[in-house]
């Protein structure tokens, strides 16, 4: 581990009892002073917490030295101290407490601020109460008094308990090497506050100074020694990449690791006799397996010590679980020759990890970079896949416990694949860092073993370019990046070099076609249909230039998502008497394909929730057209439907017709038995069916947890959407009556050129043209085309309410942009209205034939297009649509400018995804009408 200013500062404060003028480690104080930055702070290696902890500890050390220093030092130290205090206050003002999860931060920062308070340093800041709440929550799980009962993670951070515990009562839990859980700062705090000097603890600190990464510079790391951690990580990394370890080395390493496990009853920590944890135990057991030993005898200890109801914990009383620790436990169980006895634990850890990845809640506590956990996960999934192919009993049992893994594993692995490839730089590396590039290469190498990834040219080229980058920068392999998380972030030259070597020497995959076996096989009909849909996408402007492999990966993701959509397709709307829902296969692909065009702007769970909403929006369109818009309903039926919709929202207190805008839970009644309207639907069930639809949307967990103004707006927009369907049905009825009247009045029919039909019989009588409704016009629409397309028609597309629902889904992760200042809210709504109008015009452009056959009102039926022929009218409609596109681009550009300086870029990326998906549907309709025909 790299040296830490934080731990070094604690050593610099040590004095032996009775020697008030002599500092025990003066070289440590010199190291601290040398590392102060020009602004007065100390390095923030990779996070603001690093800077705060380094600065608070260093400032505390300077204050201690000022109190004991001679006059010659005081003036210079006072100036250093003043700059440090100003720098600390600046760091604290900018700190977002809730966004951090470093080891023990809730104890350490709070304790250091309290110690500085006692030294007369004003360190108050806006979120201090929130920090105190986190500290109290930590101590409620692991009370201070527990330090007297048994070793715990508190022993690694005893400096955070100064003034709270009696240090004389904890000496018995000191480790055999003299340390307090391998922590120099914790050991120093123990020495400072125990009434009796501990020579073993002093010896440990001298060993750290002499033998750790500081190499005599006066600096010490956050933890030492870390022999089990480093050996087990290096061995597993090498063997998994095909690097052989010599027989003598294997024997020595295996003997050391196995002795450590045996002496600590099957569980270990990062060094012999340190507090055991699931992470090091799992990696050590894996290393033993790879070195030819039998680790099964230690698996029971791992499970008994660290298994919880839904995951594996790293340590007792941890605030947040670690995804990497759970992946390492998963991999440990999967390397066994027969993992069947542990299938329930495998299902548990796999489900936990997949669930966290899907909801986007991956806050890895031991490492800062997402490519690290992606590398571990890719390896674990390849191991799991191999076991499903080699052991049918295991495969069947696993999927009986966790059936969702059948779709989750391919979707997540493809998600990781596309993310890693997308992040690669032009130079072949990732972020111009060797260690990070090694993670990426090893991730892709593992994913190449999964059949659904398809070892295509893009994947092989990406691996090759990554290896070339590493080879060209071989002199930087030992220069580890500050990526690993302890009290402060650290780098590891040993692990960096090991990962780089493993990446360069990992076997290259060979090109293979995609052939997916059971239990992950995609039905042939779905696979063919999705490839056909992908071919249609390639004809749209949005995907015309996209690499085929990228779209193919999105197609496969969509295949697995479609399986779940099919299981839910009858949850809300009946489909009796309807044609094939051919749009269904397009829905998941629109989202996965558009997601592949940009960084991961939203989680997979948001993506899936929007797929479900897209399906429901198609279904409500069908339902409203068949049941509500049926000719058998007539004006009374439409009036009744409008009343039902308003009643649904009034009963929730959310109707636009009145109320306070706060909706309440609404119990949907059971369907009643009433006469059918001929389409398999009972009119009395309209409220029941629509009630289920409204409930699904308004009582979605993300909606309930979103800001109240979003919930109110969503209910309002949803009611407008449903009422727009009824208004549109009313327009269709009027238009159909007009067509019927026109059919009985032949002279009013034109040939599409604006001239009367010129076909005449020899006797001079006119030959009547076959009525062609697509060329007729809506004579008395009651409003202009502009007004219609911006109101009823745009609302009918579902875009406005879906956009608000989308914002509810992302509000907890991307922020509440809709509730910001007036201009921002205006631009958002303007962009949404442009988008809805644009998509309505694209839809009508492509669905003219279907609208003609079903006597549905189309944009070109408005009087403004009266002088146009069919093709000319379509061209005019497309021209207006492109005008709306320019308006959309302007609004989005303005919005992006508004959010650039206020931290809204991630929200903007998510909105771009929504816009692309919505726009894509319009582009698809221009190419091909995919809606269900009703007649």
For 100-153, how does the pLDDT look when each residue is reduced to its tens digit (9 = 90+)?
766 677 889 889 999 999 998 888 888 888 888 888 887 887 788 888 988 888
> Would you state the structure tokens that stand for residue 128, as one six-digit string?
């201090």
883-932 confidence digits (pLDDT tens):
999 999 999 999 998 888 777 788 999 999 999 999 898 888 888 755 55
218-267 confidence digits (pLDDT tens):
999 999 999 999 999 999 999 999 999 999 999 999 999 999 999 999 99
Lowest mean pLDDT among 63-67, 379-383, 387-391, 436-440: 63-67
**Cα distance between residue 912 and residue 748, in whole Å:** 46
Residue 384 exposure: Cα atoms within 13 Å on the Cβ side: 33
Q: Which of 162, 213, 226 is nearest to 188 (CA)?
A: 162
Confidence class for position 408, pLDDT limits 50, 70, 90 = very high
Query: How many residues appear in the chain?
Result: 935
316-355 confidence digits (pLDDT tens):
767 789 999 999 999 999 999 999 999 999 999 999 999 9
pLDDT at 562 over 60: yes
Backbone torsions φ then ψ of 304, nearest 5 degrees: -65, -30
625-667 confidence digits (pLDDT tens):
887 766 556 777 888 888 999 999 988 776 665 444 444 444 4
Tokens 């999705």 map to which residue? 530
Considering only residues 576 and 715, tell me which one the structure prediction assigns the higher pLDDT.
715
**Cα distance between residue 684 and residue 690, in whole Å:** 11
Mutual angle of helices 128-141 and 105-118, in 10-degree steps? 120
pLDDT at 681 over 50: no
pLDDT at 930: 52
**Cα distance between residue 650 and residue 69, in whole Å:** 75
Considering only residues 67 and 32, tell me which one the structure prediction assigns the higher pLDDT.
32
Q: Quick one: DSSP state of residue 628?
A: I
856-883 confidence digits (pLDDT tens):
888 998 988 877 778 888 899 999 999 9
**Cα distance between residue 868 and residue 774, in whole Å:** 11
Q: Which of 285, 229, 227 is nearest to 484 (CA)?
A: 229
pLDDT at 924: 86
Which neighbouring-strand residues pair with 367? 484
Considering only residues 460 and 126, tell me which one the structure prediction assigns the higher pLDDT.
460
CA distances from 586 to 229, 575, 632 (A): 48, 18, 32
pLDDT at 775: 55
H or E, element range at 395:
helix 392-401
pLDDT at 767 over 70: no
Beta carbons of 827 and 895 less than 8 angstroms apart: yes
Lowest mean pLDDT among 87-101, 556-570, 585-599: 87-101
Beta carbons of 326 and 333 less than 8 angstroms apart: no
**Cα distance between residue 136 and residue 107, in whole Å:** 9
pLDDT at 679: 44
Beta carbons of 598 and 912 less than 8 angstroms apart: yes
pLDDT at 630: 67
SS3 (DSSP) at 760: strand
The alpha carbon torsion through 817, 561, 565, 813 (nearest 10 deg) reads -20
pLDDT at 361: 83
837-859 confidence digits (pLDDT tens):
998 998 888 888 888 888 888 89
pLDDT at 707: 92
**Cα distance between residue 750 and residue 775, in whole Å:** 7
- Calculate mean pLDDT across residues 772-783: 71
Beta carbons of 189 and 181 less than 8 angstroms apart: no
pLDDT at 8: 97
729-763 confidence digits (pLDDT tens):
888 888 888 877 766 654 433 333 333 333 333 33
pLDDT at 146: 84
> Would you state the structure tokens that stand for residue 902, as one six-digit string?
């206020």
Residue 523 has a CB neighbour count (10 Å cut-off) of 12
pLDDT at 517 over 50: yes
**Cα distance between residue 3 and residue 214, in whole Å:** 6
**Cα distance between residue 209 and residue 189, in whole Å:** 16
pLDDT at 101: 65
Mean pLDDT computed over every residue of the chain: 87
- Calculate mean pLDDT across residues 388-408: 95
Backbone torsions φ then ψ of 4, nearest 5 degrees: -125, 125
pTM of the predicted model over 0.95 = no
pLDDT at 467 over 90: yes
- Calculate mean pLDDT across residues 269-281: 94
15-43 confidence digits (pLDDT tens):
988 777 789 999 999 999 999 999 999 99
Tokens 């398809």 map to which residue? 454
Q: Which of 299, 349, 298, 351 is nearest to 326 (CA)?
A: 349
Beta carbons of 701 and 605 less than 8 angstroms apart: no
Give residues with Cβ within 8 angstroms of 815, minimum separation 6. Answer: 903, 904, 906, 907
Give residues with Cβ within 8 angstroms of 199, minimum separation 6. Answer: none
**Cα distance between residue 558 and residue 345, in whole Å:** 29
- Calculate mean pLDDT across residues 780-791: 90
pLDDT at 578: 74
Q: Which of 296, 288, 183 is nearest to 228 (CA)?
A: 288
pLDDT at 59 over 60: yes
> Would you state the structure tokens that stand for residue 653, as one six-digit string?
């207190």
Number of H helices, E strands in the chain: 35, 0
């Amino acid at each position: 581990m790299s040296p830490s200013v934080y731990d070094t500062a604690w050593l610099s404060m040590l004095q032996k009892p009775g020697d008030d003028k002599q500092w025990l480690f003066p070289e440590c104080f010199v190291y601290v002073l040398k590392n102060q930055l020009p602004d007065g702070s100390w390095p923030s290696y990779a996070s603001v917490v690093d800077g705060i902890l380094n600065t608070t500890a260093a400032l505390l050390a300077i204050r201690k030295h000022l109190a004991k220093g001679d006059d010659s030092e005081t003036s210079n130290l006072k100036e250093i101290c003043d700059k440090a205090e100003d720098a600390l206050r600046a760091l604290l003002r900018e700190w977002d407490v809730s966004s951090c999860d470093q080891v023990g931060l809730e104890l350490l920062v709070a304790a250091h601020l309290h110690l500085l308070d006692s030294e007369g340093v004003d360190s108050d800041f806006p979120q201090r109460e929130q920090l105190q709440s986190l500290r109290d929550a930590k101590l409620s799980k692991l009370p201070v008094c527990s330090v007297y009962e048994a070793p715990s993670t508190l022993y690694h951070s005893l400096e955070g308990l100064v003034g709270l515990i009696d240090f004389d009562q904890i000496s018995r839990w000191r480790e055999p090497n003299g340390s307090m859980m391998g922590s120099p700062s914790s050991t120093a705090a123990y020495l400072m506050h125990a009434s009796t000097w501990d020579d073993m603890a002093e010896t440990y600190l001298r060993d750290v100074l002499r033998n750790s990464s500081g190499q005599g510079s006066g600096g010490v790391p956050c933890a030492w020694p870390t022999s089990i951690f480093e050996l087990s990580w290096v061995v597993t990394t090498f063997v998994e990449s095909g690097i052989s370890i010599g027989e003598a080395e294997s024997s020595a390493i295996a003997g050391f690791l196995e002795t450590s496990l045996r002496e600590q009853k099957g569980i270990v920590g990062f060094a012999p006799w340190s507090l055991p944890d699931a992470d090091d135990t799992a990696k050590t057991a894996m290393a033993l397996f790879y070195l030819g030993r039998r680790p099964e005898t230690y698996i029971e200890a791992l499970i008994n010590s660290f298994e919880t109801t839904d995951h594996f914990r790293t340590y007792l009383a941890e605030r947040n679980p670690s995804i990497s620790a759970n992946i390492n436990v998963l991999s440990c169980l999967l390397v066994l020759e027969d993992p069947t006895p542990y299938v329930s634990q495998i299902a548990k850890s796999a489900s936990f990890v997949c669930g966290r990845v899907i909801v986007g809640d991956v806050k890895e506590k031991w490492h800062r970079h997402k490519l690290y956990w992606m590398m571990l996960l890719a390896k674990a999934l390849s191991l799991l896949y191999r076991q499903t192919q080699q052991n049918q009993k295991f495969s069947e049992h696993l999927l009986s416990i966790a059936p969702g893994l059948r779709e989750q594993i391919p979707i997540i692995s493809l998600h990781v694949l596309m993310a890693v490839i997308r992040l690669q730089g032009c130079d072949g590396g990732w972020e111009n860092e060797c260690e990070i590039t090694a993670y990426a290469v090893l991730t892709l190498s593992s994913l190449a073993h999964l059949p659904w990834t398809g070892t295509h040219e893009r994947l092989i080229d990406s691996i090759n370019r990554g290896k070339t980058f590493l080879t060209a920068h071989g002199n930087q392999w030992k220069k580890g990046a500050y990526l690993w998380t302890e009290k402060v972030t650290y780098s590891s030259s040993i692990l960096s070099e090991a990962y780089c070597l493993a990446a360069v020497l990992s076997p290259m995959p060979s090109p293979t076609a995609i052939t997916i076996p059971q239990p992950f096989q995609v039905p042939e009909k779905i696979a063919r249909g999705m490839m056909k849909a992908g071919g249609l996408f390639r004809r749209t402007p949005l995907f015309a230039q996209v690499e085929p492999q990228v779209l193919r990966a999105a197609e496969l993701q969509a295949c697995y998502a479609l399986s779940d959509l099919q299981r839910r397709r009858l949850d809300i709307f009946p489909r009796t008497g309807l044609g094939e829902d051919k749009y269904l296969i397009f829905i998941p692909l629109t989202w996965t394909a558009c997601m592949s065009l940009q960084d991961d702007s939203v989680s997979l769970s948001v993506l899936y929730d929007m797929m479900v909403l897209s399906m429901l929006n198609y279904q409500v369109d069908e339902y409203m057209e068949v049941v509500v818009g049926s000719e058998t309903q007539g004006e009374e039926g439409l009036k009744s439907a409008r009343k039902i919709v308003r009643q649904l929202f009034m009963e929730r207190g959310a109707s636009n017709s009145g109320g306070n805008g706060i909706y309440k839970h609404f119990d949907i009644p059971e369907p009643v038995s009433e006469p059918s309207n001929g389409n398999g639907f009972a009119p009395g069930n309209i409220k029941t069916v629509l009630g289920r639809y409204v409930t699904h949307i308004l009582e979605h967990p993300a909606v309930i947890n979103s800001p109240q103004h979003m919930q109110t707006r969503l209910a309002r927009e949803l009611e407008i959407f449903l009422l727009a369907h009824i208004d549109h049905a009313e327009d269709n009825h009027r238009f159909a009556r007009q067509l019927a009247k026109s059919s009985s009045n032949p002279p009013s029919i034109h040939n599409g050129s604006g001239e009367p039909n010129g076909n005449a019989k020899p006797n001079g009588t006119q030959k009547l043209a076959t009525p062609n409704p697509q060329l007729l016009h809506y004579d008395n629409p009651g409003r202009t085309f502009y007004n219609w397309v911006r109101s009823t028609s745009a609302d009918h597309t579902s875009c406005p309410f879906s956009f608000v629902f989308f914002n509810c889904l992302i509000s907890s992760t991307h922020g509440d942009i809709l509730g910001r200042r007036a201009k921002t809210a205006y631009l958002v709504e303007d962009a949404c209205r442009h988008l809805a109008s644009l998509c309505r015009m694209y839809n009508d452009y492509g669905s003219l034939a279907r609208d003609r056959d079903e006597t549905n009102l189309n944009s070109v039926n408005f009087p403004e297009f009266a002088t146009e022929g069919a093709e000319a009218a379509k061209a005019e409609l497309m021209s207006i649509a492109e005008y709306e596109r320019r308006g959309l681009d302007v609004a989005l550009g303005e919005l992006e400018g508004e959010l650039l300086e206020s931290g809204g870029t991630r929200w903007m990326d998510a909105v771009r995804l929504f816009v692309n998906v919505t726009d894509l549907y319009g582009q698809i309709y221009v190419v091909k009408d995919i809606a269900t025909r009703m007649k």
